[in-house]
Amino acid sequence: MSDTVIRVENLSKKYVLSHQQEGQKYKALRDVMADGAKAVGKKLLKPSKAIANPNREELWALKDVSFEIKQGDRVGIIGRNGAGKSTLLKVLSRIVEPTSGRIGIRGRVASLLEVGTGFHPELTGRENIYLNGAILGMSREEIKRKFDEIVAFAEVERFLDTPVKRYSSGMYVRLAFAVAAHLEPEVLIVDEVLAVGDSQFQKKCLGKMEDVGKDGRTIIFVSHNMAAVRALCSRALMMKQGQLLMNTDTETAIAHYLTEDSGVDARVIWSEKNAPQSPEVRCVETYVLDEKGNYASTIDCREDFSFSITYEVLKPLRGLRVGCLIQNIEGVILCGSNEPDIDPDYVTQPGYYTSKCQFPRYLLNEGRYSICFGIDVAPYIRLLLTTSYCLSFSVEDTEGYGVKKEKLPGVLRPKLLWSNIQKQAELINK
């Protein structure tokens, strides 16, 4: 009997996007019906010619993707935003139908793709545990046997009989992950949703997924955190623009992903179509500046530098705050920072704004680094948007280490103060 649990052959998924023409009013139902009648009339009059619609665009979220996953594999799926990772997981989870291609899955699949996936908001946490278990094909006795373990892992004992619509996003994720991981599916699919939880909970989840993998069950894990992918996965699929670029060992895939990502320029200008955005705010531009105020993709370690993000506020926002994360080429997050001294009661009016962060000299070691941004309502009441690691730059050590200009070990490269005091020989020999 084959140990292949997932087989994907020439999988494709197409979406049709509709665009509103500039200056065009939103259509009422009668307008849509009238346009439909006109289109039918045109086809009857000129049936031999296809009528192109300039307001409709085809987007292939997945294109001819093929791979196999064997029992017990722990597979990471990596790629930049828009690569097709989440669409692939939705197709594997039978949430979205593929346009073409075939999928074969052997065994029960538990998916954790979005906060509260598979939960009924009006039911309590207790009722949703049984509901999810039943959806996964578990008997009531099997769920009872695992019930206490699920509740203890999720840390929601006090709210077990509260409708989950009153849960915070963190509580939602804790309970959803606990159910998915403890009800023993043959295949566990986890998207970036774990980023909603705090760092302690993320470590707890990664530990549980390692245990699930050791039990011989299959894990598919999507994350932008390369350190987590490296720690958990033995293989990785790298996606790019809906296509499978690489199917290889984790280290090779991560190295390729980070090298490719390092090609991002030190200045990024987003169009209205591809900008990270929410109904309240939209990113416009981000860039790195050297000490002289010039755009720079390479920074001298002896000089200060800064990075900025320009964004458009679309609605009045109270307590708006911008933050960032910096990671090195190995995907290790070095630090994060938020705008300080934000007044939670201050209302930012619609308009264009630029937030700038100054970085000190002699801090980062020689190497390649990338930055992502987030905009929220302080103090972390609501996350408005996050970007990918969109900004990239290199630090060059122009001083070197010793005569041979060796690179100093470690991530940081602080210039520490040393002293060398010559003592008299007679004092040393005493």
What does the alpha-carbon distance between residue 384 and residue 280 come to, in Å, rounded to a whole number?
Answer: 7
What does the alpha-carbon distance between residue 94 and residue 103 come to, in Å, rounded to a whole number?
Answer: 10
CA-wise closest residue to 283 among 291, 275, 273: 275
Cβ pair 66, 11 in contact under 8 A = yes
Residue 414 is predicted with a pLDDT of: 84
pLDDT in tens, the chain (430 residues): 468 999 999 999 998 876 555 555 556 666 666 766 666 666 666 655 555 566 677 889 999 999 999 988 999 999 877 889 989 998 998 888 999 999 999 888 878 776 556 688 899 999 999 988 887 777 888 889 989 999 998 888 999 999 988 888 778 888 888 887 887 788 888 887 665 556 677 778 878 888 887 888 899 998 877 777 888 888 999 999 899 999 999 888 887 776 665 545 688 999 988 899 999 999 999 999 988 888 888 888 888 999 999 999 999 999 999 999 999 887 888 999 999 888 888 999 999 999 999 999 999 988 889 999 999 988 767 889 999 888 889 888 766 554 445 667 777 888 888 887 876 655 555 5
Q: What are the structural domains of the chain?
A: 59-261 (3.40.50.300), 267-396 (2.70.50.60)
Cβ pair 107, 18 in contact under 8 A = no
Residue 263 is predicted with a pLDDT of: 47
* End-to-end Cα spacing for the chain: 80
pTM for this predicted structure: 0.61
Bond before 379 cis per omega within 30 degrees: yes
Strands 187-190 and 109-112: parallel
Residue 10 is predicted with a pLDDT of: 94
Cβ pair 308, 316 in contact under 8 A = no
DSSP annotation of 114: S
Strands 267-269 and 391-396: unpaired
39 Cβ neighbours under 8 A, 6+ residues apart = 51
Residue 403 is predicted with a pLDDT of: 41
Half-sphere exposure of 57 (CA within 13 A, CB side): 9
